[in-house]
Chains A and B, each alone.
Chain A
Amino acid sequence: MAERVIEMQGISKSFPGVRALDQVDFYLEEGEIHALVGENGAGKSTLIKVMTGMYTADAGEIRVAGERVRPRSVFQMQEAGISTIYQEINLIPHMSVSENIALAREKTGLFGRIDWREARERARSAMARLGLDLDVDQPLNRFSTAVQQMVAIARALSLKARAVVMDEPTSSLNEGEITNLFRLIRDLRDQGVSFVFVSHKLREVFDLCQTVTVLRDGRLVGHYPITELDHFSLVSKMIGRDARGILGRHRDGTDKGERKRFCELNGIRDGRRLQGVSFAIGEGEILGLAGLLGSGRTETLRILFGAEQPEAGEIRLDGVVTRFNYPREAIARHLAFCPEDRKVEGIIPSLSLMDNIAITNLPRLSWRGVVSRAKKLALAEDYIQRLNIRAAGPRQRINTMSGGNQQKAILARWLSTSPRLILLDEPTRGIDVGARAEILDLIRRLAGEGLSVLMVSSEWGELLEVCDRILVYRDGRVLASLVGEEMTEDRIIATIAGEGRHA
């Protein structure tokens, strides 16, 4: 049997109101890629934080390469050869990409001096290994969430660790980026590095991993060789019951015919990325935006919502030219927007779950500026139940909730405004299989009642599953609009790859 790089036994960890881990065992063997799966709030991130020294367990033992350790800090575990990518990106936004990567380095010169030229080279090659060519001197916050995620990965991989722990590293990456990442992971595995890999995209788990550990409600369900499982049995283990109910749903595929136009964009340019974007969204239509990183999808949503201003072009709502200087003006016209990075632009961390949901509705829940606690609570409880948000209660501080449950809260915040058009940027990021199906179902149902949806997703499968129509973006332009039979993954890839190059 291969050596156990990490061994955890009887790990328990409680937070006020929640037993996040209850007597959990976990083993990571040398040279394996080990998946850690479970529903939102099952305890995956908590286990990882205990493993990597961010949290101290209430009970249990941890061994690294057979030696008992009591992790006190992330630094200590890094020294022991364990490097980590946490679920919420943990980099320094205004520092450059190369500085961020250099910060992870253990080796410095005299008086802690960093050799910046070497650091820049290293950063460039680390990004290149992931198939990304970018200016590493640019501050990190100039890049999209996906790129930031890649930088976090590059940084962790550059540490020459013996084990790399990755909490949902692929949550905002698309197929191409994931392929590059997996190739690199496999290479490193062949050199003896071990990986812990968390993902809600089970296809990736089957693709990449040899072993699976399943958690449910803070307890260990079991360790399995991947060969013993199929998709169906894995989901059943995660949810603790037969998975038939939640799998295998599909778009009904009926064309809803002519729709009344609700929103129209004409020749939108932003002076940076968008090179003249035009399209229309019908009432009750679910329109998907597919494309690569940096193709301008996010910018389109932001401009539509008034979070950024276009340089040229016009927006019409119900046929009338409209201009939003601030998001609140868009909200007043019943638009809603779930941003892609929930930590930076979504959650209001010190507020409760309840206030985070209610914050978009406060005027409606108050009388002369005084908020009705009862109404606020009722609204929050309604959506906590509808989206099955798991928390110790509506008063739990949102930044102590699990990532997927935070994401659901952000969705709840916007769905509760009864919008006419909802702009979704990676709406199911970090959400588990079951919840994802439920949320997509809900979106479809609301669309049936007239809600228009504009959705960006790096998972094309998801777009194909719910959308009525898909626009393919490249380099700040809409290259194609796919409907009905044309809506296939191959078609999207072919369009992006350059067939039908724009004039």
Chain B
Amino acid sequence: MPSISPVNPETGRERLRTYAPFLVLLAILALNALVTPNFIQTGTARNMLLQSFPIIIMSLGMAMVIATGGIDISVGSIMAIASIVFAKLALDLGMGIVAAAVAALAISALFGAVNGLLVGYFAFQPIVVTLVTMMIGRGAAAVINDGKIVTFYDSNLVDFGLYQVLGVIPIHIFIIVIAVVVVFLLVRETVFGIYLQAVGDNLRAARLVGVDTFRIILSVYVACACLAGFAAIFETARLASADAINLGKLVEMDCIAAVAVGGTPMRGGEVRILSTLAGALTMQAITTMVNMNDIPYAYSLVIKSVIIIVALTVQKEK
């Protein structure tokens, strides 16, 4: 064997890359603490976490899709249709909320399956495929209730939304933790996780080593869509309404930004779940800062973009 100097797995630069998303998050939180009135109060932090629920949940799905070399811009529309389906079924048809939720998840899964089929089997480009389902989803959602907002109040649902696990942990935070842990373990410890990266990294090689690439791509888009539907149900409950036109509008952009700020490369082949979580929190922290300081929406976009660029610069390779 050759003489190889002792293994020193990380250079300073690489370590910086690994931790960059968390540093960026800390920086933005610190900034918030300075400029945002009352930010340090627990109520604010808790609110921020509650509001970040959908973007965190959906970023997890987005991260997996991006790891396969794809992208899903239909998640916002899927939220809209899941929300409308959920509210309508629960209200008009008098279905129980559990049954309505199951139906909403099913319709989300259907959208995901269409995405997965077109990308994985027919090899169409992910951005075009999901652009199409984005339009269909939003359109169909609007058609269902003639574009009108469904107000929806269910005391059980509200109680559920206020439920605290063991009396201290809000249900949303509990679910975030579970979801992050599950997806983290899924991509790190399972056969599926390795196949997922292989598909995004070198599709042809993945096929030749026996990976069922279609099944992987299909599962990933279905999972991503279901997470969007799941988030939609919680948003419907939180807002006590289902709005086909506005719910989830541009949320795909926040999710993609969260994944990018988290350091997952857009070309696929790699995925970082904890960093994606940091990225999602960063995006929400920006939104919170902007909202609580009465900064006009237009400026908020500029601020977001600057922070994304900064985050990407810190973790750039070489």
Footprint of B on A, CB under 8 Å?
16-19, 39, 41, 217, 305, 307, 326-328, 331-332, 337, 339, 344-351, 355, 358-360, 362-363, 366, 369-371, 373, 388, 390, 392-393, 395, 413
Contacts and interface: CB of A to CB of B under 8 A. Distances in A.
B11 interface: yes
A355 B196 CA distance: 12
A350 B211 contact: no
B202 A348 contact: yes
Contact of A363 (B3, B191, B269, B270): B191
Contacts of A370: 189-191
Contacts of A18: 4-5
A331 B210 CA distance: 7
**Top-3 shortest CB links A-B:** A328-B210, A331-B210, A350-B269
A16 B201 contact: no
Given A328-B210, A371-B191, 11 more contacts: A16-B10, A17-B7, A18-B5, A339-B208, A348-B202, A348-B205, A351-B201, A360-B209, A360-B210, A362-B195, A369-B190
Contacts of A39: 2
Interface in B186-200: 189-192, 194-195, 197-198
A344 B204 contact: yes
A330 to B, nearest CB: 8
Interface string B261-282: 0000000011000000000000
B8 A359 contact: no
A43 to B, nearest CB: 10
B295 to A, nearest CB: 39
B9 A346 contact: no
B154 interface: no
Nearest to A216: B2
A39 B1 CA distance: 11
B9 to A, nearest CB: 6
A17 B4 contact: yes
B9 A395 contact: yes
A47 to B, nearest CB: 16
A351 B194 contact: yes
A376 to B, nearest CB: 9
B46 interface: no
A71 B197 CA distance: 35
A370 B8 CA distance: 28
Contacts of B191: 362-363, 366, 369-371
A348 B203 CA distance: 9
A155 B206 CA distance: 31
Interface residues of B, number: 33
A327 B208 contact: yes
B208 A337 contact: yes
Nearest to A350: B269
B316 interface: no
Q: Is the interface of B mostly helix, strand, loop or mixed?
A: loop
Nearest to B206: A348
21 contacts: A17-B4, A18-B4, A327-B208, A328-B212, A346-B205, A347-B202, A347-B205, A348-B202, A348-B205, A351-B198, A351-B269, A359-B209, A359-B211, A360-B210, A370-B189, A370-B190, A370-B191, A390-B1, A392-B7, A393-B7, A393-B9
A371 B194 contact: yes
A331 B195 CA distance: 16
> Which of B191, B192, B204, B270 gathers most chain A CB within 10 Å?
B191
Nearest to A346: B205
A332 to B, nearest CB: 8
B200 to A, nearest CB: 9
Nearest to B191: A362
Contacts of B7: 17, 392-393
A43 B5 CA distance: 14
B148 interface: no
A349 B209 contact: no
Contacts of A41: 2
A349 B204 contact: no
A152 B62 CA distance: 38
A350 B265 CA distance: 11
Contacts of A369: 190-192
Interface string B5-48: 11111110010000000000000000000000000000000000
B204 A17 contact: no
Nearest to A385: B1
B8 A16 contact: yes
A371 B190 contact: yes
B1 A388 contact: yes
Contacts of A345: 202, 204-205, 208
A355 B269 contact: no
A289 B5 CA distance: 42
Contacts of B197: 348, 350-351
B210 to A, nearest CB: 4
A181 B145 CA distance: 72
A428 B78 CA distance: 51
Nearest to A337: B208
Contacts of B205: 344-348
Given A16-B10, A326-B207, A328-B212, A392 B201 contact: no
Contacts of A350: 197, 201, 269-270
Contacts of B201: 348-351
Contacts of A17: 4-9
Contacts of A366: 190-191
A39 B3 CA distance: 13
A373 B14 CA distance: 23
Contacts of B208: 305, 307, 327, 337, 339, 345-346
A393 B4 CA distance: 10
B190 A413 contact: no
Contact of A348 (B4, B5, B10, B198): B198
Contacts of B195: 362
A373 B3 CA distance: 27
A309 B112 CA distance: 30
B210 A16 contact: no
Contact of A362 (B1, B4, B9, B194): B194
Contacts of B194: 351, 355, 358-359, 362, 371
B1 A307 contact: no
A71 to B, nearest CB: 16
B23 to A, nearest CB: 21
Nearest to A391: B4
